[in-house]
A = this chain, B = another copy of it.
Amino acid sequence: MNNFEFYNPVKILFGEGQIENISKELAPYKTILLTYGGGSIKRNGVYEKVMSALKGKTIIEFGGIEPNPRYETLIKAVELARQTNVDFILAVGGGSVIDGSKFIAAAIPFNDEPWNIVSKGIKVEKAIPLGTVLTLPATGSEMNAGAVISRFETKEKFAFGSPAVFPKFSVLDPTVTYSLPQRQVVNGIVDAFAHVLEQYLTYPVNAHIQDRFAEGILKTLIEVGPKTLKNSNDYELRANFMWSCTMALNGLIATGVPTDWATHMIGHELTALFGLDHAVTLAIVYPALLKIVFEEKKEKLRQYAIRVWEFPDEEIAALKAIDRTEQFFRELGIKTRLPEHRISFEDIKPIIDRFAKRGWKLGENKSITSDVVEQILKKALEEYQ
C-alpha cells in the first residue's frame, strides 16, 4: 500500500426529507447564491423545498448552468456574487451545477484572472463556502473537492481541485431523482462505474480494503443499476444508486493505490470536440483502452473478473471481463463504438494532435502517450460484434 493523506470533511444529509434540514446548516449565513441548471428543479418540487428551507435569507438566483459548465457562463455568476456580497453558495443540481459552483466559489475571492485557476491548476486557498442539494447521482462532486470546467471559446475542458471547495454539506435525497430522464440515470451509472475502475484497474499494491470497497461499489452498481432504470420510483434502488455514486469518487477508494484517469482525459476531448455526454465517452474509451494496455492491467483485470463478475479463475478471465464491461454499458443502452456516433478516424485526428502537442503521458504507468491514444481511439473505431 502506498502512503497517503485522506481528508474529507463533507457532511452528508442522506434520505427523504433532508432538504428541510439545510436551514440548520445555513444558520451562520445571510446572502445565499442559489445556483442551478436548466430549471428541472422548478418542475419536480425541489426548488420549492429549497426556497422554504431558505426562508429569512437574502437569495440571489443564478440558473442556467449548462452540462459541462462553461467558464463563459460561470464568470457571470462570479460578477453577480461579488456585487451582492454573497456569503454562501447553495448548488442545487447534478455534477455540472456543483462543479460550476465550486469554480464560482473559488473565483469570487480570487485576485487574478479566474480561468488561471483551471488552466494553470492553481491550488486556491480561499473560497466562498458552499453546500449542495444533489439531484443527479453521477459525478461524486457532492463529496469531493474537484471540478471540471469547460471553455466554449477554446473547446477546452480541464479539472481543478482544492480543499477550499469541499462542500460544507450535501443533501442526498433519493426521491428527488424519481423524475430524472432515463438517459441521465444511465449516464450516472456509467460515470460512477468508470470512476471506480479508474482507481481500481491499475496494478496490485496489496490494498485489500480499497480493493474490496471498489469491488463492492461495482457489484452494487451492477445489481441496482439496471433495476433502478426500470423502477424509477423504487426508493431503495435509488438510495443505493445514489450512495454508490458518492462513494465512487470521494477519495476513499483512491487512498494508497495508483490511479489511472486516462479514460477520463481522452473522454474529455470527445466531449469538448463532439459534444458527447461525458458518460458516453467513458463507455467508448474504457473497453478500448483496457484492450490496448491489457498487459499492464492484467493482474487486476483478472481479480475484477473473478470478484466482480464472478467468472471462474482462469487465464481468459481478464479478457472476458473487458467484454463483459462493454456489454454492461451496452445493456444500459449506450453505444460504445465511435462509428455508432458517426465519428470517423479523420474526426479524431485533432485529439491525437492535441495530446502529441501537450506531450502528456497518461495512466498509472505514464505509458499512454499520444501514440497509445491513437491506438485506443482506433480500437474504438472498430464495429461492435
Q: Which of A's residues lie within 8 Å of B, judged by CB?
A: 1-18, 206-209, 212-213, 215-217, 219-220, 223-224, 236, 239-240, 243-244, 247, 252, 255-256
Contacts and interface: CB of A to CB of B under 8 A. Distances in A.
A207 B202 CA distance: 28
Contacts of A15: 1-4, 256
A169 to B, nearest CB: 8
Contact of A209 (B5, B8, B10, B243): B243
Contacts of A7: 9-12
Contacts of A212: 212-213, 215-217, 219-220
The prevalent SS among residues of A at the interface is mixed
- Say how many copies of this protein the assembly contains: 2
A223 B220 CA distance: 23
30 contacts: A1-B239, A1-B240, A2-B15, A3-B14, A3-B15, A4-B12, A4-B14, A4-B15, A5-B12, A5-B14, A6-B11, A8-B8, A206-B236, A206-B239, A206-B240, A208-B216, A208-B219, A208-B223, A208-B240, A208-B244, A209-B220, A209-B240, A209-B244, A209-B247, A212-B217, A212-B219, A212-B220, A216-B216, A243-B255, A252-B252
Closest 10 CB pairs of A and B: A212-B216, A3-B15, A9-B9, A7-B11, A206-B236, A208-B220, A6-B12, A1-B239, A208-B240, A4-B14
A99 to B, nearest CB: 22
B236 A1 contact: yes
Contacts of A219: 208, 212
Contacts of A255: 12, 14, 243
